[in-house]
Structure 1
């Protein structure tokens, strides 16, 4: 059942709802819940207001009566140059939001909440705090116990990552040419790199809305997950959400050897950190296809890391300390 006529939004879920959903009054009869939705991406608790990324005019008007306004932003909107590696339609949309809407939000914000130190630095002198996203629950389904035939590889990327995936498209072509029993799944649909189109064992599934993707994270299981990221300021300011996605998909994670992954993943222990070299990616993938036991060990260790950095209790404590002495019904 849809809450108050609003579809779920990923940023709202991973930074707020997964942690304090039991405190949010989505329906009038939930009178014991002290956190009240304010528009699609806002939450009010007493005289404090949380705005997640966007804000409609009504939310902005109500912000002027709030004691504190916490504004959560998880994209570096000042790194939208031509080399940001973003689709043009998406880059223009973010730039328009930054230029036309964001100034009004920053005018009322009393504190910034973000996963990125770069974003905090951009928004000085507004005080701020770092907050990483969280998992939907403090537990994860384990990886498969035995071999899966064929080996299943997933690229859990949305359209904004299409150029990042393009960086390793040659790697994937090499892998499926050498191991035609491997099945690779992307969620990019017609936004997938041209090099991955028409290959019989590469499935470029249509990108689903957040509710569908959220179900896949909970239900699907893969052996290997690929998370490439080009060397751009925009990518370096991203959150660790992809590490959490890989853990939920129960896969061994292969990541670009840069932030936000390099500061969290320990190469060879809970994932692999790889250079911008298609041959290195191909060899790493093939090594795990051949050694599925190692892939499972990496997946298990990756899940332990995800549970540590993505513990909903940590995010809950963060908000409870800032919103006041709130209690569930």
Structure 2
């Protein structure tokens, strides 16, 4: 069973959010709920360096995704001043079986900064906060609280009827989706001569699209830079493919908020991750993971700006 309210909602004077660096997990989930529920903004503290000074009495700690040994020692040292601890995750960070297919370096990071601290978190009675009902069900014995995403974009790009840029801003953990998407992009660029394709990725991603015309590969960037980047005008269609995997099953539908902030309409995998947030043809398109369906949906949205505007406006509202 999940709880209805996070425990930091009980009127604590100070909430400290510990984050690896400025990141979307904090801004989509943790920060808006701390502000909205507790009535005051969180103090953001880097994961790398616990404060040298003790916290104010009654402080509540929220770890976003990761914990370190240094923070565990800090909690033990100041336990008499700490009212409670929460741990938030928006991926399945505690199940190595769900990490199959992820880069080895990323798996090691998940083990080192998340999974190996689970026993400690449970031992100190930490509250578990999660991003999706899937994670709440999987870890139901912990009585987690689901935090729905909130848009971190106060102002997005406006709608551009002449835009012809299709984009995919998947992370390195989506390499399989990048490879699947290649044939879709190839067909769209062939059918719509004005179309371009923008993708964020490293050299492995660039190799996946090598040989395709009118493709821009943008280097990965930090979260604050990305928030400014994605709200630049000129994009028409954002894509969010999702291949079946245990790790993907735990993902949250934040791509809907990114794509809408870009002034674009999204084409999303017809997957439980998106079905609760996207109504096909209303605020986005839901497509089975069949390339022909994606090509058809993207081409239609590019060639019918009035239809695209109506869907974008529904998503924005």
TM-score, normalised to structure 1, is 0.77
What is aligned with 1:142?
158
Does the aligned pair in 2 maintain the 1:79–1:233 contact within 8 Å? no
Task: Report the Cα distance in structure 1 between the residues aligned to 2:272 and 2:178, rounded to whole angstroms.
Answer: 16
Within a 5 Å distance, the mapping from 1:26-65 to structure 2 comes to 35-40=42-47, 46-64=58-76, 65=79
Q: Report whether the alignment pairs 1:263 with 2:276.
A: yes
CA offset at residue 189 of structure 1?
3.2
- Say what the alpha-carbon RMSD is for the aligned residues: 3.1
Runs of 4+ in structure 1 off by over 6 angstroms are 21-24, 41-45
Partner of 2:126: 110
Residues 272-316 of structure 1, C-alpha deviations (whole Å, 9 max, x = no match): 000111111111111112112212221221222xxxxxxxxxxxx
2:172 maps to 159
Structure 1: stretches of 5+ with no match in the other structure: 25-32, 305-329
Deviation at 1:100, TM superposition (A): 2.8
C-alpha spacing 1:171/1:205, structure 2 compared with 1 (3 Å): same
Which residue is equivalent to 2:110?
94
Q: How far off is 1:76 after superposition? A: 1.0
Do 1:15 and 1:132's aligned partners in 2 also have CA atoms closer than 8 Å? yes
Three-state SS of the structure 2 residue aligned to 1:231 is coil
Residue 186 of structure 2 is aligned to residue 179 of structure 1: no
Q: CA deviation at 1:8?
A: 1.5
Instruction: State the match for 2:3 in structure 1.
Output: none
Contact 1:162 1:188 in 2 (8 A): no
Give the Å deviation of 1:104.
2.8
Offset of residue 34 of structure 1:
7.6
Give the CA deviation at 1:168: 2.1
Q: Which secondary structure state, in structure 2, belongs to the residue aligned with residue 229 of structure 1? A: coil
CA contact (8 A) 1:271 1:302 kept: yes
Structure 2: any 5+ residue segments left out of the alignment? 1-17
Alpha-carbon distance, 1:252 to partner: 0.6
Give yes or no for contact 1:156–1:245 (8 Å, CA) kept in 2: no
- C-alpha displacement at 1:222, in angstroms? 0.8
CA shift, 1:23, in A, is: 11
- Cα separation, partners in 2 of 1:194 and 1:141, compared to 1, 3 Å: closer
Query: 2:21 and 2:95 mapped to 1: Cα distance?
Result: 28
What is the aligned residue count? 290
Write the distance in 2 (CA, Å) between the matches of 1:13 and 1:174. Answer: 36
Supply the distance in 2 between the matched residues of 1:34 and 1:163 (Cα, whole angstroms).
38
Flag the 1:90–1:269 CA change in 2: closer, same or farther, 3 A: same
Going from structure 1 to structure 2, the CA distance change for 1:252 and 1:263 (only over 3 Å counts) comes to: same
Q: TM-score, normalised by structure 2?
A: 0.80
Map Cα deviations across residues 131-172 of structure 1 (whole Å, 9 max, x no partner): 02221256544312x323xx1111121111121222222111
Counterpart-to-counterpart distance in 2, 1:37 and 1:139:
22
Question: What is the match of residue 245 of structure 1?
Answer: 258
Q: Name the residue aligned to 1:130.
A: 146
In structure 2, C-alpha distance between the alignment counterparts of 1:62 and 1:276, rounded to whole Å: 47
